[in-house]
Homo-oligomer: A and B are copies of this chain.
Amino acid sequence: MIAILKHGTTAEQAKPLIAWLQNMNLDVHISEGQEVTILGLIGDTSRVDAELLSSLEIVESVKRVSEPFKQANRKFHPQDTVIEVGNAKIGGGHFAMIAGPCSVESEEQIIEVAEAVKAAGADILRGGAFKPRTSPYAFQGMKDKGIQLLLKAKQATGLPIVTEIMNIRALDLFADVDIIQVGARNMQNFDLLQELGKTNKPILLKRGLANTLQELLMSAEYIMSEGNENVILCERGIRTFETYTRNTLDLSAVSVIHDLSHLPVIVDPSHATGKAKLVPPMALAATAAGADGIMVEVHNNPACALCDGAQSLTPAQFSELNAKVSKLREAMV
**A residues bordering B, Cβ < 8 Å?**
2, 4, 7, 13, 16-17, 20, 29, 31, 33-36, 38, 40, 42, 46-47, 49, 51-52, 55-61, 63, 65-66, 68-69, 132-139, 166-169, 185-186, 188-191, 194, 208-210, 212-215, 218, 221-222, 225-226, 238-246, 248-252, 254-256, 259, 272-278, 281-282, 284-290, 304-311, 324, 327-328, 330-332
Known: A65-B35, A135-B68, A311-B55. A277 touches B259 (CB 8 A): yes
Q: Is the CB of B56 within 8 A of A241?
A: no
Distance to closest chain B CB from A54 (angstroms): 9
Query: Closest residue of chain B to A19, judged by CB?
Result: B306
Query: How far apart sit A17 and B284, CA to CA, in the bound complex (Å)?
Result: 32
Within 8 Å CB of A38, what residues of B? 2, 31, 38, 40
Query: How far apart sit A134 and B282, CA to CA, in the bound complex (Å)?
Result: 29
Distance to closest chain B CB from A326 (angstroms): 10
Q: Is the CB of B65 within 8 A of A7?
A: yes
Distance to closest chain B CB from A288 (angstroms): 4
Distance to closest chain B CB from A53 (angstroms): 9
Within 8 Å CB of A167, what residues of B? 168, 191
Query: How far apart sit A196 and B105, CA to CA, in the bound complex (Å)?
Result: 28
Query: What are the 9 A-B residue pairs with the smallest beta carbon separation, nearest first?
Result: A57-B309, A210-B210, A331-B331, A288-B288, A285-B289, A185-B188, A284-B288, A167-B191, A285-B285
Q: Is the CB of B306 within 8 A of A16?
A: yes
Decide if the interface of chain A is mainly helix, strand, loop or mixed. Answer: mixed
Query: How far apart sit A225 and B13, CA to CA, in the bound complex (Å)?
Result: 37
Within 8 Å CB of A63, what residues of B? 4, 60-61, 63
Q: Is the CB of B34 within 8 A of A31?
A: no
Within 8 Å CB of A241, what residues of B? 210, 212, 238-241
Distance to closest chain B CB from A35 (angstroms): 5
Query: How far apart sit A173 and B206, CA to CA, in the bound complex (Å)?
Result: 31
Q: In the complex, which of the residues B33, B139, B305 contacts A16, with contact meaning CB atoms closer than 8 Å?
A: B305
Query: Closest residue of chain B to A38, judged by CB?
Result: B38
Q: In the complex, which of the residues B2, B31, B275, B306 contacts A20, with contact meaning CB atoms closer than 8 Å?
A: B306
Known: A241-B210, A252-B273, A278-B255. A56 touches B287 (CB 8 A): no
Q: Is the CB of B274 within 8 A of A51?
A: yes
Q: Is the CB of B225 within 8 A of A252?
A: no
Query: How far apart sit A286 and B17, CA to CA, in the bound complex (Å)?
Result: 33
Within 8 Å CB of A251, what residues of B? 249, 251, 282, 285
Q: Is the CB of B288 within 8 A of A190?
A: no
Known: A47-B138, A58-B309. A189 touches B190 (CB 8 A): no
Query: How far apart sit A259 and B190, CA to CA, in the bound complex (Å)?
Result: 34
Q: Is the CB of B132 within 8 A of A190?
A: yes
